[in-house]
């Protein structure tokens, strides 16, 4: 399991760079993960990240697109503008949660 240092914090990740231990996550780590994706975090990004965080704590799953639309009130268009090329995967990684599993 790779270990690296982000924003001065040592973190454990899986092979695709998703944090394996959410307790190692904080807002500075999030900013560093976002920078790896070429993203500078704004309030718009944090609205998404906060929703994922709250929702994951409640349901233990990264919310899908429709849940972000309907429950989180965040339109898909905005998600693609904020996190280009695969918003759910990128937002999940920056939130410090596992890669979303597609359903079978």
What values do phi and psi take at 5, rounded to 5? -110, 125
Give CA–CA dist 49/46, Å, rounded: 5
Instruction: Give the count of residues interacting with other proteins (CB under 8 A).
Output: 18
26 lies in the binding site for other proteins (CB under 8 A):
no
Name the one range near other proteins by CB under 8 A: 5-13, 14-22, 39-47, 64-72.
64-72
Residues that bind other proteins (CB under 8 A): 64-67, 69-71, 76-77, 79-80, 84-86, 101-104
Catalytic residues: 103
């Amino acid at each position: 399991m790779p270990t690296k240092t982000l924003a001065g914090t040592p973190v454990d990740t899986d092979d695709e760079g998703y944090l394996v231990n959410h307790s190692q996550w904080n807002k500075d780590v999030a900013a560093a993960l976002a920078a790896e994706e070429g993203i500078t975090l704004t309030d718009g990004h944090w609205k998404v990240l906060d929703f994922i965080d709250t929702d994951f704590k409640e349901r233990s799953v990264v919310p899908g697109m429709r849940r972000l639309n309907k429950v989180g009130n965040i339109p898909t268009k905005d998600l693609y503008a904020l996190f280009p090329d695969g918003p759910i995967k990128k937002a999940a990684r920056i939130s410090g949660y596992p890669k979303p599993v597609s359903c079978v």
